[in-house]
């Protein structure tokens, strides 16, 4: 059910994004420029607002600019497909943006002496990086890894909802959201490792070092 909802939501967003993507391409804007602009917007929302306790404004700004992840991908597809550098840049900027979001949340929670939430935010940061690394490493070895209940969009949505609820007075919402996110992120890592293990059992031994 969750997967069906995710696919439906993405299809709906694509119909909204495609006209914007066409307009930007006609104006000469490149997908890479949108990628960088989206990351800068997330940094402003996270560090300029979220870290200072303006949680509702920060969550809204981060969510809006995080949607450029869908926009730049649509633009790349319309312009003939993503380049190797474009894919590299997009992945790298995603890691920068995610790090800023959770660092900002951890900083603000520390100023409020909510150290359990700080621990959860740091765990989310580590687990989120591992979710992405497992997929990248699997694809580097020639396998697929498009599985998991907590991909990047879902992770940002969960922390965003927690931030908004806390900002309007539900004090424990952000901490609860972070622990929930930590749990589903770790579960997603397990899902991806298991998925890759099943593929690896049927594939020839890969060359390359460990570590």
Could you tell me which residues are annotated as the binding site? 32-35, 69, 72-73, 77, 83, 90, 94
**% helix, strand, coil for the chain, step of 5:** 80, 0, 20
Determine the angle formed by the axes of helices 115-140 and 84-111, rounding to 10 degrees.
Answer: 170
Helix/strand/coil (H/E/C) assignment for every residue in 92-161: HHHHHHHHHHHHHHHHHHHHCCCHHHHHHHHHHHHHHHHHHHHHHHHHHCCCCCCCCCCCHHHHHHHHHH
Nearest residue to 125 (alpha-carbon basis) of 102, 96, 158 = 102
Specify whether 94 is catalytic: yes
- Active-site residue, from 94, 184, 191, 196: 94
Going by the annotation, the residues of the binding site for Mg(2+) are 69, 72, 90, 94
**Which positions make up the binding site for a CDP-1,2-diacyl-sn-glycerol?**
32-35, 73, 77, 83
Which residue is associated with the tokens 């007075």?
169
List C-alpha distances in Å: 162 to 45, 58, 121: 15, 12, 12
Active site residue ranges: 94
């Amino acid at each position: 059910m969750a997967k069906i909802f995710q696919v439906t939501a993405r299809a709906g967003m694509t119909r909204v994004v495609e006209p914007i993507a066409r307009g930007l391409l006609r104006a000469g804007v490149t997908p890479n420029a949108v990628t960088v602009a989206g990351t800068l917007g997330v940094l402003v929302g996270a560090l300029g607002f979220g870290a200072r306790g303006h949680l509702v404004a920060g969550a809204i700004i981060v969510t809006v600019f995080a949607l450029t992840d869908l926009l730049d991908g649509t633009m790349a597809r319309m312009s003939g497909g993503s380049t190797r550098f474009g894919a590299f840049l997009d992945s790298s900027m995603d890691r920068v943006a995610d790090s800023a979001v959770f660092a900002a949340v951890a900083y603000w929670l520390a100023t409020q002496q909510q150290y359990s939430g700080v621990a959860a935010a740091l765990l989310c940061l580590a687990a989120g990086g591992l979710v992405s690394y497992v997929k990248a490493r699997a694809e580097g070895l020639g396998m697929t890894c498009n599985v998991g209940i907590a991909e990047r969009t879902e992770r940002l949505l969960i922390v965003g909802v927690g931030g908004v609820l806390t900002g309007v007075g539900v004090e424990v919402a952000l901490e609860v959201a972070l622990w929930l996110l930590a749990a589903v992120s770790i579960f997603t890592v397990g899902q991806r490792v298991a998925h890759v293990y099943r593929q690896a059992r049927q594939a020839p031994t890969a060359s390359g070092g460990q570590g």
